[in-house]
Homo-oligomer: A and B are copies of this chain.
Amino acid sequence: MTKQVNIAVIGTGRMGSVHTRNLARAIPEANLVAVCDIRLDVAQAIADELGVKRVVRDYHELLTDQSIEAILIATNTDTHAFIVKDVAAAGKQIFCEKPIALDLADVDGALAAVEKHGVKFQVGFNRRFDKSFRRVHEIVASGEIGRPCILHIIARDPEPPSVEYARTSGGMFLDMTIHDFDMARYQGGEIEQVYAIGNVLVAPQLKQADDVDTTLVTLKFANGAMGVIDNSRQAVFGYDQRVEVFCANGTAAANNETDNTVIKGNQEGYHSDRLPYFFMNRYASCYVEEVRQFVECVRDNKPVPVGGKDGRAAVVLGYAALKSLRENRPVKVSEIK
């Protein structure tokens, strides 16, 4: 077998444990050498489960280990920026969960460190690695159905988050729509203007967090195309994830994946089951594939598929949408500094 990449994970919470298990079991290109969490017992438990030998509480211990080539950062968002700076300074390749940071100055500081130290930096926009969304991208990028005209992105969570979660998440645009901003850029290129409307229609408790639960964001792309992102915090039929790119000479649309293909017919008509419950199920293979590709890029010294520029752009679009919602007017992306 070709050379494996020695990698460590910092942060073994919800997303971190997914990545840790994937690195240990499903990505043969990687050699998971250490896990780190400030909650040492959490890190120890997953290390035991997977047979990982090294467990640390303080990520600085990993930075001086010359055998470690790459680090996956899956800590709380507010710690991403300074960890990225430290890891970059240590010369290690970086995979960082999204968003890079909620403060644009922090994002820029992190990206400056990455550039200065010349390390790879991939952001965890997992949906680019979904087979269906990638197929849409390939069809559109091939030019066979002409220039993009109108993009539709539908992304609806099955149920609203808690008020506590909403308070620290940065709000719906930076927590949830951020994925769709990245998808919009992936499918349609750079975005110049956003216009956002939103409302509290299903989860009144979110008003306490000054957040909304239903939004519609209209996009103008640099290439003349238009787009719309439909987001809701409550789709009772499951995690609703669809993309259509309507083009001058055709269209390409990715419909929802389903848990099974069964249709039941009875007196009332035809019925099929709810959608896969949530992102862990729906995007399970994407979490493997994004990190697998990152590890492969490190191993073969290739550019990563989703970089710092992409990570920054999605945050900027989140702030533009927020400004638009508050001022009820279209906002140029260039207004956000």
A44: min CB distance to chain B, Å: 13
A136 to B265, CA, bound (A): 11
A236 within 8 A of B: yes
State the Cβ distance, A218 to closest chain B Cβ, in Å: 5
Interface size class of A (residues with CB under 8 A): 35 or more
Give the chain B neighbours of A214 by CB distance below 8 A: 149-150, 226
Binds B, one of A114-122, A162-170, A243-251, A305-313: A243-251
A26 contacts the other chain (CB 8 A): yes
Select the stretch in A59-67, A81-89, A103-111, A227-235 that faces chain B: A227-235
Which A253-284 residues have C-beta < 8 A from chain B?
253-257, 259-274
Which residue of B132, B260, B267 contacts A132 across the interface (Cβ within 8 Å)?
B260
Residues of B near A255 (CB, < 8 A) are 261-263
Q: Is A297 an interface residue (CB 8 A)?
A: no
Q: Which residue of A28, A150, A235, A252 has the most chain B CB atoms within 10 A of its CB atom?
A: A150
Would A266 and B248 count as touching, CB distance under 8 A? no
Check if A199 is an interface residue, CB within 8 A of chain B.
yes
Q: Does A185 contact B (CB under 8 A)?
A: no
Task: Find out whether the CB atom of B228 lies under 8 angstroms from the CB atom of A230.
Answer: yes
Task: Evaluate contact between A202 and B267: CB separation under 8 angstroms.
Answer: no
Q: Check B28 against A49 for contact (C-beta < 8 Å).
A: yes
Q: Could you list which residues of chain A lie within 8 angstroms of chain B, going by C-beta atoms?
A: 1, 25-26, 28, 48-49, 131-132, 135-136, 139, 144-147, 149-150, 152, 156, 195, 197-199, 201-202, 214-216, 218, 220, 224-228, 230, 232, 234-238, 240, 246, 248-257, 259-274, 328-330
**What are 13 A-B pairs with beta-carbon distances under 8 A?**
A131-B259, A132-B260, A132-B261, A139-B262, A146-B202, A216-B228, A218-B218, A228-B230, A236-B250, A236-B266, A237-B266, A250-B265, A269-B274
Apart from the given pairs A132-B260, A235-B251, 18 other A-B contacts in the complex at a CB distance below 8 Å: A26-B26, A139-B262, A145-B264, A145-B265, A150-B230, A156-B246, A195-B218, A197-B226, A201-B248, A214-B226, A236-B249, A252-B265, A253-B265, A254-B260, A254-B262, A255-B261, A269-B274, A328-B330
